[in-house]
Amino acid sequence: MKELFVLLKQGNKSALMAAIVNAVIAILRGTAFFFTGNVAMFAETMHAIGDAANQFFVFIGSALSKKTPTKRFPNGFGRLVNLVLLGAVIVVAIMSYETIKEGVHHVLHPTEAEGFFIVVGVLLAGVILESMVLAKAMKEVIHETHVEAKGLGILVQSIKNVGKATPATKLVFMEDLVATGGGLLALLAVLLSKWTGQHVLEGIASVLIGLMMLFVVGKVFIDNAAGVLGEADDEMEKKIGHILIQDPEVKDIRNITVMKEGETLHVEVEVELEASITIEEADVIKERLAGQVMGQKGVADVLIEFSKDDGEVDWKMHYT
């Protein structure tokens, strides 16, 4: 039990914050839907429930993935976060289906909902809370990708670099970006429905929100399926290769592989040295190179092998 609490302290804080906020939003929206019957509110309630459950799973998965390797699982638990996220998307998929189904029903049989001011107030409060979580996720993306940005630059750079963030942070960012947009869409639909009398707009908004949720489901599934199978990090391969090729003793890099294991990276590299290098000198070089690689963010371990310089250039990335 003590180990579990220690692991939970290492869980993704953005995911935990998002789970709590979305749980509160789900309660508020669910209560408002119960009293008003507003279909746009129903869509956003389903959205908040799905996000809260998903992000809670993300927090748990990100924490457990940091468990140290055991004899039974010598490669560690890095991919556990990907497995948890694959399970979590099922929850969102179910909520997406219910949201679309209810929206279609309202499009075919539009009715006027009650409690206009309650609905507007709850939706507006939800948008504000969601945007706060989204801002937190944006800053987390900036922090994890080592990008400097201020003001509106945080928005631009976080969208640009979200693909390089950890799986947990990426999911929170995507879900809250869609959630904030969905809240604004629902709010706009309620206002236009009231002003124009076209109550079918709320049903259309519900369908669109459901489709936005399905987009997140598809994106998260593809990303984490790749993580479970084992995905190479091409950008980190290039970065580590660039570092190693600068060493005066390294003549060439025959092969380099950087595999993602959840939030950690495992590096294997084969470098070429002069044939005259002694075993003692090779040990010193290996220790030096390993230290440089281990100094990179996210690297959990590195395996370095040496080969005799064959006079041919194998590592092309250095020259492009």
CATH label of the domain that carries residue 88: 1.20.1510.10
Q: Rounded CA gap, 50 and 269, in Å?
A: 42
Give me the mean pLDDT over the 70-81 stretch: 73
On the question of pLDDT at 307 being above 80, the answer is yes
Overall domain count for the chain: 2
With residue 105 as reference, give the H or E element that holds it: helix 80-108
307 vs 61, higher pLDDT = 307
Which sign does the torsion angle of CA 98, 100, 105, 110 carry?
A: positive
Give me the mean pLDDT over the 166-181 stretch: 81
Q: What is the per-residue pLDDT across 181-207, written as a single tens digit (0 to 9) for each?
A: 888 998 999 899 889 988 888 889 889
52 and 137, same domain (yes or no): yes
262 φ/ψ sector (left φ>0, alpha ψ -120 to 50, else beta)? left
* pTM of the predicted protein model: 0.70
10 and 139, same domain (yes or no): yes
169 and 82, same domain (yes or no): yes
User: In this predicted structure, what is the pLDDT of residue 320?
Assistant: 47
182 and 265, same domain (yes or no): no
257 and 191, same domain (yes or no): no
Do 81 and 197 meet the contact criterion of CB atoms below 8 Å apart? no
From 171, 204, 229, the end of a domain falls on 229
On the question of pLDDT at 88 being above 80, the answer is no
Burial class (CB in 10 A: 0-12, 13-18, 19+), 292: middle
209 and 239, same domain (yes or no): no
From 229, 257, 272, the end of a domain falls on 229
117 and 248, same domain (yes or no): no
Do 185 and 211 meet the contact criterion of CB atoms below 8 Å apart? no
In this structure, how many other beta carbons lie within 10 angstroms of the beta carbon of residue 142?
20
Q: Rounded CA gap, 302 and 137, in Å?
A: 30
Question: What is the per-residue burial (b if ≥16 Cβ within 10 Å, else e) of 294-311?
Answer: eeeebbbbbebebeebee
CATH at residue 258: 3.30.70.1350
N-terminal to C-terminal alpha carbon distance within the chain: 51
The pLDDT-based confidence of 319 (bands split at 50, 70, 90) is very low
296 and 199, same domain (yes or no): no
Q: What is the per-residue pLDDT across 117-154, written as a single tens digit (0 to 9) for each?
A: 888 898 899 889 888 888 888 888 888 877 888 888 88
The token pair at 153 is 């630059």
Q: Rounded CA gap, 310 and 307, in Å?
A: 8
219 and 169, same domain (yes or no): yes
Do 60 and 84 meet the contact criterion of CB atoms below 8 Å apart? yes
Give me the mean pLDDT over the 267-276 stretch: 88
Domain residues for the domain of 70 are 2-229
From 229, 247, 270, the end of a domain falls on 229
Q: Which of 129, 80, 92 is nearest to 219 (CA)?
A: 92
The token pair at 38 is 């507003």
126 vs 74, higher pLDDT = 126
Between the alpha carbon of residue 318 and those of residues 255, 273, 302, 307, the distances in Å are: 13, 17, 20, 19
Say what percent of the chain tops pLDDT 90.
6
Q: Which of 67, 62, 64 is nearest to 14 (CA)?
A: 62
Burial class (CB in 10 A: 0-12, 13-18, 19+), 79: buried
